Chains A and B, each alone.
Chain A
């Protein structure tokens, strides 16, 4: 789930056409969810019956998979997405303080999107950058050693 993109507005017919292209795949549900999210920025609840209908699944089937994966969103994210690592190694290198600082600076809590839609802050659990934590992804790009000036610099990139 990389960079936030200028996504197109929700359109049911377009969504059905996108899902229909996945029908022939083996295990088409995940690719269908990905393409919907990539196109519309999220998988809104109204997409679920469409995906279910086209793939001949129940709405519950789709809902279960959709909600299992944290990276699928049911509402649009902010224009930028900051994913801060909250796993053990980063914790050992001070990520809790860093996250608290980010929350204060951005005026939101982990898991939230700012009301102006500028940014979404999420926790992730290990980016494989354990040796240089605290680490984070901003719109899919990695940032490391996020303390002090480096963290301040990141925040200026999030909210110029």
Chain B
């Protein structure tokens, strides 16, 4: 499609329902009360000249270009700041206005370089457009007066340049940073002629509070803020609307292209998850797609000690298939399996599980959700009947109380965090339950009413204490519970949580949270109006992960915070397509749409369509596969787009499992850490190189569109199809849309989904079927999917992972804004400018006891393993707690995490590991050995010279 120029109505829409009628340039216009004259004019197709107005920001009225005449009113009011009124008569073009506008433009241009032909914004500049619109022909003031033309450009940010000589001080960037992103990193310094845009305290952008979300660049009407890529390459010529492949927010972007070259990614206003906003990852960090380390040719080797040998696709596929066939013949049907990827599309994920179930003939398929949100699936299905969050993101605009538990949205889900912060600045109240003082606890213009800094591992105790207060202080929404939930089960639950052992006073001893804080938080959540819970992996990645999810569901049911706007239970999904990967039947016990493999009816539908008999017994989960491998019963694994060596817990055990296998097939963009143990490497494709769909955290199914040819030659779905065909189970899809059609035919909640519908509607939220043809934004509106909401008992059981004399500190892990997951993508972009190593956060008291100063190398040791990294001393963590990220393979934070996992789902207990920290002077034995192994196993044999 041609370059998309999104319409800009100048000011945001009015939410009013009352309609006002007015006359603009002789035409009658109807618009909601509160609409600006500018926006009303744009509704009838009249563009009033403007510079400081844009419809993502509140009207400001500074540029004086949008003046209009209104009958009966003195002067020439600004149309952006003037709301419409009944019977108003407006003229947008008169000789007087033309003269005024021209005069204003002359002033702007008298202090603006006249280098349009060589300017990076040439063709995409509102100042240029407005000069044309007002008919500017001369500048009577000349160009000799004082000016800013010699101001130096700030090129400190790797992704955009700030050139103050081209700035018209319209404040759009400042307002975008404040209103949209909520970081408040920009200001106008000085006044009058000296006014200029300043990042923090007149600093280079990289030294300021800027988080590089790109909102300012998008808002700038001139070339003052311009993407470096535009400066280097030039203006794009066509756009393709697609979905970001980073976190579970699922932002919609316009990929702006020159031929097959991606010039920039610009957030799309029609994107229903992001509403035109972006973060540093999605907006800028896509350079990994063309990174020199990308592997583009298939490779094989007999043993992981051999160097890789580049081969043709047919040889690689044939070798992998023959190995799987040989292994199954020798060791049995169940000796092989596959892992689907939350980074791949729904269609690709579906194909991998289909290959395993139908091609391998077993159910040994699992996905990375095993290690993140599997407890969400289990817990929410058990209580509500659906393995997914209840709301859409827009719902947060209606929340009165927001409770964030074990999630760090400003780093992990930044675009949603910006939307949440907008609501918080409007006055919604905030409760944060997290061992760390995450940014949301206190960040400019946002402050949590209550922060419950619990000891890692005590989520369930704190949630039970909240429930205890709600029940014993009579804060239960009894009408809701009686109508929507099973009353008997509720009574059992209420009796259990009301026990004195669950009181905040009793649990303080192990949670560390002051009882009064718990009581106030409980009262606020129960009585503060529409209350929403947003939670993340800090809830699920525990030995009681599933119990905590159930406890959250109980809280929401007891207070009636379900089935309405502004409320709900909302898991913030880690990866772009975790929801989708789970929906697509990636778990060993579930077919697509969460139907158990032992369900004969469900299985029968698949067997009929696929013409193959499916196993009715659940297969192995990832940890079971690794255990079985170590024991010698599991020999072959097909891994699509996941790096289990780096991302899964207890790295040494994962390494031992992989090393014990005879055929490990890794399909990925890069030689990742798992590939150090692989025998076949199949080069994967990026989200820019294929068609498909991703499903975000709000169940929103969105299109991923191919914007360039796959550099490796094939989309990942095509590679799986080739492997399946080589294994003798035929697949013959010619386009991913055919795979989605098959998914729709097999999966009741997806029955109404097709690429055609997605192209038409932009996106739909499942369930999407005959009952809800356009999808379901908010679930459980009139009742729970499972019938009656189910209260379940959630007794707190302390984890076996306990601190002691040898390991006196608790380690918990997370991520930072600029890096993503194992870092395979973001480490290969300029995002390393913000964060280029994992750091260990340690409280000053704990640091002092160990003689650790800021920046020192320290060893981090648990009973599972030991690594080393640099320390940062901060009060962000409580005494007794340390924290790090897992983005960098040189650290391998998961060497330290243990084999403990959730009782129901095996989701690993990443968030609680007893450790000791000590000063260190270098890498640990494991790191040294592993790095040597990495060097050895990444050798690629040079082809022998032809004779």
Contacts and interface: CB of A to CB of B under 8 A. Distances in A.
- Is chain B found bound to chain A in the same assembly? yes
Interface of A: 45, 48, 52, 56-61, 63-64, 67-68, 70
B442 A60 contact: no
Given A67-B189, A68-B190, A60 B200 contact: yes
Interface residues of B, number: 23
Interface in B446-467: 446-447
Contact of A59 (B200, B446, B447): B200
B189 A56 contact: no
A56 B447 contact: yes
12 contacts: A45-B201, A56-B445, A59-B209, A60-B184, A60-B199, A60-B209, A63-B200, A63-B202, A67-B189, A67-B190, A67-B191, A70-B191
B848 to A, nearest CB: 20
A98 to B, nearest CB: 24
B201 A59 contact: yes
A64 B198 CA distance: 8
A60 B445 contact: no
B191 A60 contact: no
A37 B867 CA distance: 49
Contacts of A56: 442-447
Interface string B197-213: 01111100000110000
Dominant secondary structure at the A interface: helix
Interface of B: 177, 183-191, 198-202, 208-209, 442-447
Contacts of A59: 200-201, 208-209
Nearest to A63: B201
A63 B200 CA distance: 7
A61 B184 contact: yes
Nearest to B444: A58
A2 to B, nearest CB: 22
Most chain A beta-carbon neighbours within 10 Å: one of B184, B188, B201: B201
A60 B190 contact: no
Nearest to A74: B201
A89 B425 CA distance: 46
A64 B191 CA distance: 9
In the A-B complex, the 4 residue pairs with the closest CB atoms? A64-B187, A58-B184, A60-B187, A58-B444
B184 A63 contact: no
Contacts of B445: 56-58
Nearest to B196: A67
Interface centre among A56, A58, A67 (most CB of B within 10 A): A58
Nearest to A69: B191
Contact of B208 (A45, A60, A64, A70): A60
B447 A60 contact: no
A64 B187 CA distance: 5
A44 B199 CA distance: 17
Contacts of A48: 201
Given A48-B201, A60-B177, A64-B188, 18 more contacts: A56-B443, A56-B444, A56-B446, A56-B447, A57-B444, A58-B209, A58-B444, A58-B445, A60-B186, A60-B198, A60-B200, A61-B184, A61-B187, A61-B444, A63-B187, A63-B202, A67-B190, A68-B190
A63 B187 CA distance: 7
A41 B208 CA distance: 26
Q: Interface centre among B200, B443, B446, by most A CB within 10 Å?
A: B200
A52 B199 CA distance: 14
A57 B201 contact: no
A64 B444 contact: no
Contact of B198 (A57, A63, A70): A63
Contacts of B185: 58, 60
B893 to A, nearest CB: 30
Nearest to A68: B191
B183 A58 contact: yes
Contacts of B199: 60
A6 B255 CA distance: 61
A70 B183 CA distance: 26
A48 to B, nearest CB: 6
Contacts of B447: 56
Contacts of B200: 58-60, 63
A67 B188 CA distance: 9
A28 B447 CA distance: 16
A59 B208 CA distance: 9
A61 B198 CA distance: 10
A123 B177 CA distance: 34
Contacts of A58: 183-185, 200, 209, 444-445
A57 B187 contact: no
Contacts of A70: 191
B184 A57 contact: yes
A45 B198 CA distance: 14
B210 to A, nearest CB: 9
Nearest to A59: B200
A23 to B, nearest CB: 11
Contacts of B190: 67-68
B60 to A, nearest CB: 15
Contacts of A67: 189-191, 198
